[in-house]
Amino acid sequence: MTPIDPRAAALADLREWTEHQATARQRLIAAAWRAGVHNVAELARAAGVRRDTVYADLRRENIDPTERSTMPTTTLPSRRAQVRDRLIPILAELPLRGPREESPDPAAVLRQAGRVTILKLLYGLEEVAEVYTSWLDTSLAEQDATATGLATWSEAGMPTAPLPRWTRDRHGFLCVGCGENFWTLVSRGDVSSRWCKTCARDLAELRSEQVWIPRRSPLHHDIAFPGVLPDERYDNLLPVNWNGSIDITEYVMGEADAFLAGYGWMGLATSDEPSPLTGDLEAPTLKAAGQTTKPGHRFAWTASFAYDRGPNGWRKTPYGFRLVTGTLTSDHGVSTFDDAFTMLDTIAAGNNAQ
């Protein structure tokens, strides 16, 4: 068991912030430009910088500010945006759950958990945890406004820790005191102080009325994830030899990962080796086909993906392969999709729902 080294974790956080911070303005200016804001004066005002700084930022992001005639570039949604657009409505499907409250409908919780699994398959544990924790920050702040403290410490459950224990906690799922147990208690009026019972009572010597137990998503522990360090590999890659070349070009799998990586979800498999990539080396097309074998969820599928080099997040990794079109075939007929989440959610819903 490796304990968290608080010094290394703090330095990693600082490095991440620095990398992020150094290019934040230029990336945001470029994003606004790509969204269609081509008025440099307006960009300069919004960013609080001079116009020549805006020009310099745009050029650093490979945008030529003199090419104003181009259509407003519709940028495809980033992974973060995809997860945000999906996860928040999924969380709203069921009421948040307080301590010792049973879930009203176990089948609905399973369905909700299934949707979160699809998000993880398509966009990764890191993105899902990131979006969830920022949503949680808002939720806790709202709950804090009307929260009442504990009457006695016996209301707080015994601490539990992740198994195996985490060597990091980049998204804040663990107690701020020990960094070992999951937090279950929140300080009143200070929702970033999240404690296990032991630390709140014995380490911080809080009184029971100074802490409260939040209502949380039933999926809180499904989403809990220790996180990825800034210099760690984050995406699955597809190595390709183009035309027998010995040089290997690596592509970020993106959404194709959920279809091709063999996670065993719903018995999803490819029927053959995926066909070779076609088209441009910079932006190839990937086609694949296969079947799902889980009883009640049996489909034949085809999927066609286009490569999106669009940089994602502060790591600026390519988005990867993005579904262009897919089909599901069952006894009920053929359905066509242009969205990977909807396609996988249809498989999860099963044959009778089709």
* Comparison of 43 and 206: residue with beta carbon closer to Zn ion: 206
82, 117, 181, 312: which one contacts Zn ion (CB under 5 A)?
Answer: 181
Q: How far is the CB of 218 from Zn ion (least distance, A)?
A: 23
Q: Work out whether 161 is an interface residue with Zn ion (CB under 5 A).
A: no
Q: How far is the CB of 204 from Zn ion (least distance, A)?
A: 9
* Comparison of 140 and 196: residue with beta carbon closer to Zn ion: 196
The span of 47-55, 105-113, 190-198, 345-353 binding Zn ion (CB under 5 A) equals 190-198
Which residue do the tokens 């076609």 mark? 278
Helices then strands, each counted (H, E), the chain = 11, 11
The span of 27-35, 123-131, 171-179, 266-274 binding Zn ion (CB under 5 A) equals 171-179
Q: How far is the CB of 160 from Zn ion (least distance, A)?
A: 11
CB atoms within 10 A of CB 21: 10
* Comparison of 201 and 322: residue with beta carbon closer to Zn ion: 201
User: Judging by DSSP bridges, how do beta strands 248-252 and 237-241 pair with one another?
Assistant: antiparallel
Widest pairwise Cα distance in the chain: 71
Q: How far is the CB of 194 from Zn ion (least distance, A)?
A: 9
The span of 12-20, 21-29, 188-196, 287-295 binding Zn ion (CB under 5 A) equals 188-196
Question: Are the C-beta atoms of 196 and 181 separated by less than 8 Å?
Answer: yes
Which residue do the tokens 């009572």 mark? 201
Q: Work out whether 140 is an interface residue with Zn ion (CB under 5 A).
A: no
Q: Work out whether 177 is an interface residue with Zn ion (CB under 5 A).
A: yes
Q: How far is the CB of 316 from Zn ion (least distance, A)?
A: 36
> What three-state secondary structure class fits 323?
strand
Q: Work out whether 184 is an interface residue with Zn ion (CB under 5 A).
A: no
Q: Work out whether 347 is an interface residue with Zn ion (CB under 5 A).
A: no
The span of 173-181, 208-216, 222-230, 314-322 binding Zn ion (CB under 5 A) equals 173-181
Question: Are the C-beta atoms of 206 and 175 separated by less than 8 Å?
Answer: no
196, 223, 228, 340: which one contacts Zn ion (CB under 5 A)?
Answer: 196
The span of 110-118, 139-147, 193-201, 324-332 binding Zn ion (CB under 5 A) equals 193-201
User: Judging by DSSP bridges, how do beta strands 269-270 and 284-292 pair with one another?
Assistant: antiparallel
43, 116, 128, 175: which one contacts Zn ion (CB under 5 A)?
Answer: 175
The span of 36-44, 72-80, 88-96, 170-178 binding Zn ion (CB under 5 A) equals 170-178
* Comparison of 46 and 204: residue with beta carbon closer to Zn ion: 204
* Closest residue by Cα to residue 204 from 217, 212, 195, 213: 195
Q: Which residues pair with 323 in a beta bridge?
A: 305
* Comparison of 193 and 330: residue with beta carbon closer to Zn ion: 193
Q: Work out whether 187 is an interface residue with Zn ion (CB under 5 A).
A: no
Degrees, nearest 5: CA angle 13-227-340? 125
How far apart, in whole angstroms, are the C-alpha atoms of residue 340 and residue 349? 14
Q: How far is the CB of 180 from Zn ion (least distance, A)?
A: 6
> What three-state secondary structure class fits 60?
helix
Q: Work out whether 199 is an interface residue with Zn ion (CB under 5 A).
A: yes
* Comparison of 170 and 201: residue with beta carbon closer to Zn ion: 201
How far does Cα 224 stand from its chain's mean position?
A: 12
CB atoms within 10 A of CB 234: 16
Question: Are the C-beta atoms of 160 and 181 separated by less than 8 Å?
Answer: yes
Task: Give the pair of three-digit tokens for residue 8.
Answer: 């290394």
Angle between the 24-34 and 40-47 helix axes, to the nearest 10 degrees? Answer: 140
* Comparison of 136 and 199: residue with beta carbon closer to Zn ion: 199
Stated as kind and residue range, the H or E segment containing 290 is strand 284-292
Footprint of Zn ion (CB under 5 A): 175, 177-178, 181, 196, 199
